[in-house]
Structure 1
Amino acid sequence: MQSTEKQAFNPNVMAFALMLAAFVGLFSETALNMAFTNLMVEFSISAATVQWLATGYLLVLGILVPVSALLIQWFSTRKLFIISMIFSIVGTLVAALAVNFEMLLVGRIIQALGTGLVLPLLINVLLVIYPIHKRGAVMGVMGLVIVAAPAIAPTISGLIVDGLGWNFIFYISAVLLVVNFIFGVKVIKDVSTITKPKIDVLSIILSTIGFGAIVYGFSIAGDSSMSDPMVLLSLAIGVVALVIFVIRQNKIEHPMLKMTVFKYPMFNLSLLFIIIVMMLILSSAILLPMYLKGSLLVSSAMAGLILLPGGFLNAVLSPVVGRSFDKIGPKPFIPTGFLLAAIGLFLLSNLTTSTAFWMVILFHSMVFIGITLIIMPGQTYGLNQLPPQLYPDGSAVMSTLQQVAGAVGTTFGILLMTSGQKTFAAANASATVPQMMSAGVQHAFTWLAVLAVIGFVGSLFIKTKKSN
């Protein structure tokens, strides 16, 4: 075993640099949502085509993040940080300077490479540099990064799109990334152990095909339906590849991901929580801007401002929840969070073309308060169940499923909305576009509320005893 040289470091400063890099990357997941209509006009593309700016990003994350568990054991913390930041900066600049859709999509894909490296690195480093009794507080701040970035992105990007143009979403992100790169190079130290395990190329291929095909399948389902032959074929290929991948991991001497993480029941339960939460976050990030602009007919900037209080409350409450978690554990938070989210989503399922702004703000805020109570306690509790040698694998599994759940959640929301619109249009031949939009959103949020109820039932089975 080859260990990295131990160096003096400030854990809080290191955590800040990694979290800022992750924040900008996750911000990019939903930042362009407010600009989709602008891009459709500017580049003369359809809604199905422009959606690939989100789908392509999530597709790369779904493929790359599983490989990260291996990369963390091959490359030092500092080296991986530098590589991820270079990808992020280059991709952001390419997107900012894009003169056509293809160039913008390439920029997004390069961006995603950087984010796909930094997310698992962030989680793994936090588990290494902080003792278990302090993880709740620091993971609370990380939870703020993971939830707040996609939550406030529509607000900030809405203001930017209306005031400066969509390119400035990337220009501003590039400035933050360059500053953080300079800062991070000075403060990031090597804290992990380099073991350089044997690389199993077939496992990498199976992982890439498996996660990639599943994300792709759900993504194209948003343009057609779940019964489309191409959707079913893609999902089938993905499932078969992942089954073979899992079997192989249990048989080879040096697995790419140690499947032993799934032997810990409470880790598995925490994965369910994270999957549901990410589906709720990403589906809401698509549905609410579409409702506000398409049904209430507000501008991008106004739509962003309406969604701001939910993101603000998340920012305020995440560190508080983190500190409290260290003292009282996950049980009070997660059930309460799912209950609040379910109520908020049910209320959102009653939106109409005349719903008052304050009601949208209130219902959206309820959902995001609930999400705040779930995501950090769920992540920290799950990872705390694992022994230290499984942290890279646990964080890679959790990060991967977050991105897959995000892609599925986005498609799930669009499919439900489209289904609701078709049903409403069939029963109301003279329906207007705003009425159809609100009907579709009502249908989508009804089923998202059901998803939150499933999470609530699961949260009743939490056991407070930790494994380590």
Structure 2
Amino acid sequence: MKHQNEIPQHKLPMVIALILGAIIAILNTSLLLTAIPHIMKELSISESTAQWLTTGFMLVNGVMIPIMAFLIEKFTTRHLFFAAMSFVAIGSVIAIVAHSFPLLMLARVIQAMGAGILMPLMQTVLMIIYPKHKRGQVMGAVGMVISFAPAVGPTISGIIVDFFSWKAIFWVILIVAIVDLAFAFFTIRDVTQQANPKVDILSMILSTLGFGGILYGASMAGSLGWTNSVVLGTLIVGLLSLVFFSKRQFSMEHAMLDLRVFKNTKFTLSVVITTIMFGTLIASEVLLPMFMQNTLGMTALQSGLMIFPGAAIMGVISLISGRLFDMIGARLMSLIGLVVVAISSLFFARLTMETSFMYLTIVFAFRMAGLALITTPLSTLGLNQLEYALIPHGTAAMNTVRQVGASISTAVFVSILMGASISNGSIFGINVTFGVMAAVSVISLIMGLFIRDDKRELETREV
């Protein structure tokens, strides 16, 4: 790994450039949600076709993440960052001039290629340039971005499309990308180690088929059902591809994605728990607006306003929990957070037609506070277990598992909701679904009891 004197002394400017890039990447996943009806009308396309602008982005983004460890070892930090931001900018330009769906879809694919690079690259660089006893606070800042950016995306795009064309969204992305590129030119330094690994085409094909198949199958399962031939076919192809991909990685001297990271118990436990919690987060952000609009008759604006305070609270507590991690470790905070998430799930499992907007907002904010106490500390604890050479593989593996887990969780919980609602109504369905989430949270809490902090690290911090 790079010697200590090659780590930039003034880290903050570099961190700002990286986090701004991550914000752009995350906003890209949610900015189009409120603009899709306008795009459908202007391009004369159906809703199912328009949804590919978000589904396709998610698939490409998900396929890019597993190969990030290879890219980080192949190319310098600056080359990767500038390539990623250039993809985002070029995709935005194509979207601005697009007058047909295929061209707009191409723009989204190019943007997704850049977005898939930015998040793992940021996490890897931050883990390298900061010593273990300071990683908590910087990962707290990352947690704030991850929690807050998706929530404000639909709000920002809603305001933009109300006053301007949907293409103005891409103008905003383009301008911010150019500003960040200019700032990064003076602040980004090469801090990752280049091992110049050989390109393993078979691993890339298996990775694409595996993760792409599972992500696509899970995303289609919510609408087509798990027994649909397309869903089953893509899931089977995905699973088989992942089996062969895993075997190949373990047999290679220099793996594209080094799965040895999962041999570390603390890392694996942190990934499993945070993936489950991230899955329940995404699922609840999908199910609650559906319940509010379809059952309670509330507006899309109200559902967005319900989510916003919770996202803001999660962002603030992510910062706090990151600092606390550097002082007291992850175990206590994560256990408290898991209890909070379980309790909030029980509160959401007793919804009625009289449930108020305020009730939903308060319980959701309570839930998000608990999640902030889980994700930031456990993510940092897990990555702290890895030696420097494995950090790129750890961040890639962690982000990949979360992406797949969130997609599968959402599909499973939507299926539970639909199945329970058929004979007993939507209120019964939403209550059963959150009851299952409560049970899953309790299982995660039991797993959390096996978490152990790094005592030597804590003793060093106290000194």
TM > 0.5: yes
Shift of 1:162: 4.4
Q: Secondary structure at the match of 2:16?
A: helix
Q: C-alpha displacement at 1:225, in angstroms?
A: 0.8
Residues 394-437 of structure 1: CA deviation (Å, up to 9, x unaligned)? 11101111222232233234323332332335xxxxxxxxxx4x
1:455 to 440, 444, 453: 444
Q: Which amino acid aligns with 2:149?
A: A
Question: Equivalent residue for 1:382?
Answer: 382
Counterpart Cα distance in 2 of 1:448 and 1:164: 40
Change (3 A) 1:42 1:449: farther
What is the match of residue 20 of structure 1? 20
| Deviation at residue 77 of structure 1 after TM alignment | 0.4
State the 1:326 CA deviation: 0.4
- Looking at structure 2, the residues matched to 467 and 52 of structure 1 have their Cα atoms a distance apart, in angstroms, of 49
1:325 to partner: Cα distance: 0.4
Cα distance change on mapping 1:333 and 1:200 into 2, 3 Å: same
Which digits, 9 at most, give the CA deviation of each residue in 1:128-164, with x for residues without a partner?
Answer: 1000110011011111112222233344344444454
Distance 1:316 1:243 in 2: 40
Aligned-partner Cα distance in 1 for 2:317–2:162: 29
> Quick check: 1:310–1:366 contact (8 Å CA) kept in 2?
yes
Matched residue type, 1:327: M
Percent of aligned pairs with the same amino acid: 37
The equivalent of 2:148 in structure 1 is 148
Q: Determine the C-alpha separation between the residues in 2 that align with 1:98 and 1:360.
A: 40
SS in structure 2 of the partner of residue 171 of structure 1: helix
Q: Is the 8 A contact 1:15 1:126 kept in 2?
A: yes
| Cα pair distance change 1:272/1:2, threshold 3 Å | closer
Is 1:273 aligned to residue 273 of structure 2?
yes
Distance (Å, rounded) in 2 between the aligned partners of 1:274 and 1:304: 24
Counterpart in the other structure of 1:444: 433
- The code of the aligned residue for 1:126 comes to L
What secondary structure, in the 3-state scheme, does the structure 2 residue paired with 1:332 have? Answer: helix
* 1:97-122 deviation per Cα after TM superposition (whole angstroms, max 9, x unaligned): 54444443332222211111111111
Once the two structures are superposed, residues 307-333 of structure 1 have per-residue CA deviations (whole angstroms, 9 ceiling, x without a partner) of: 211011112211111000000000111
Residue 418 of structure 2: aligned partner: 418
What is the Cα deviation at residue 353 of structure 1? Answer: 3.9
Stretch of structure 1 that moved more, 123-132 or 96-105: 96-105
What's the secondary structure of 1:32's corresponding residue?
Answer: coil
1:191 matched to which residue of 2?
Answer: 191
Partner of 2:311: 311
1-structure distance, mates of 2:219, 2:32: 17
C-alpha distance in 1 between matches for 2:10 and 2:323? 20
- The Cα shift of 1:246 comes to 1.3
Q: 1:55 to 1:81 in 2, by over 3 A?
A: same
Counterpart of 2:136? 136
**Cα distance per residue 1:185-221 (max 9 Å; x no partner):** 2210111111102222211111111111111111121
Change (3 A) 1:172 1:199: same
CA contact (8 A) 1:48 1:223 kept: no
| Deviation at residue 36 of structure 1 after TM alignment | 4.5
SS at match of 1:355: coil
Tell me which residue corresponds to 1:464: 453
| Cα distance change, pair 467–258 in 1 and its aligned pair in 2 (3 A) | farther
Contact 1:293 1:303 in 2 (8 A): yes
The aligned amino acid for 2:384 is: N
In structure 1, distance between residues paired with 2:430 and 2:52: 21
Deviates more, 1:361-370 or 1:441-450: 441-450
Rounded Cα–Cα distance in structure 2 between residues aligned with 1:100 and 1:282: 31
Could you tell me how far apart the structure 2 residues matched to 1:202 and 1:455 are? 35
Deviates more, 1:399-408 or 1:153-162: 153-162
Partner of 1:63: 63
2:68, 2:214 → 1: CA distance? 19
Question: What residue number does 2:460 align with?
Answer: none
Match of 2:236 in 1: 236
> What are the residue-to-residue correspondences of 1:4-19 with 2, within 5 Å?
6=6, 8=8, 10-19=10-19
Aligned counterparts of 1:354 and 1:96: Cα–Cα separation in 2: 44
Given the two structures, how large is their TM-score scaled by the length of structure 2? 0.91
| TM superposition score normalised by structure 1 | 0.90
More displaced 10-residue stretch of structure 1: 8-17 or 28-37: 28-37
Contact residue 275 and residue 405 of structure 2 kept, 8 A? yes
RMSD: 2.6
After superposition, the Cα gap between the structure-2 partners of 1:115 and 1:442, relative to the gap in structure 1 and judged at 3 Å, is same
- The change in CA–CA distance for 1:445 and 1:54 in structure 2 (over 3 A counts) is farther
Change (3 A) 1:161 1:449: farther
Mapped to 2, the partners of 1:272 and 1:150 lie a distance apart of: 22
| Residue 400 of structure 1: aligned partner | 400
Between the aligned partners of 2:335 and 2:199, the Cα distance in structure 1 is: 41
Q: Structure 2 matches for 1:292-331, cutoff 5 A?
A: 292-331=292-331
In the alignment, which residue of structure 1 is the partner of 2:350?
350
The worse-fitting range, judged by mean Cα deviation, of 258-267 and 32-41 is 32-41
Tell me, in whole angstroms, the C-alpha distance in 2 between the residues paired with 1:345 and 1:103: 42
> Structure 1 residue 9: deviation in Å?
5.0
Are 1:338 and 2:327 counterparts? no
Q: Which amino acid aligns with 1:290?
A: M
Q: Deviations over 1:429-453 (max 9, x none)?
A: xxxxxxx4x5544443333333322
**Which sections of structure 2, spanning at least 5 residues, go unmatched?**
458-463
Which one-letter code corresponds to 1:294 in the other structure?
N
Structure 2 CA distance, aligned partners of 1:24 and 1:16?
A: 12
**Residue type at the aligned position of 2:188:** I
Indicate the residue corresponding to 1:170 in structure 2: 170
The CA distance in 2 between the partners of 1:424 and 1:36, in whole Å, is 32
Q: State the number of aligned residues.
A: 457
Q: Which moved more, 1:169-178 or 1:272-281?
A: 169-178
CA distance in 1, matches of 2:40, 2:409: 22
- 1:76/1:444 Cα in 2 relative to 1: closer, same or farther (>3 Å)? same
Is the contact made by 2:285 and 2:307 (CA closer than 8 Å) also made in structure 1?
no
Counterpart CA distance in 2 for 1:295 and 1:37 is 21
- The Cα of 1:182 is off from its aligned counterpart by 1.4
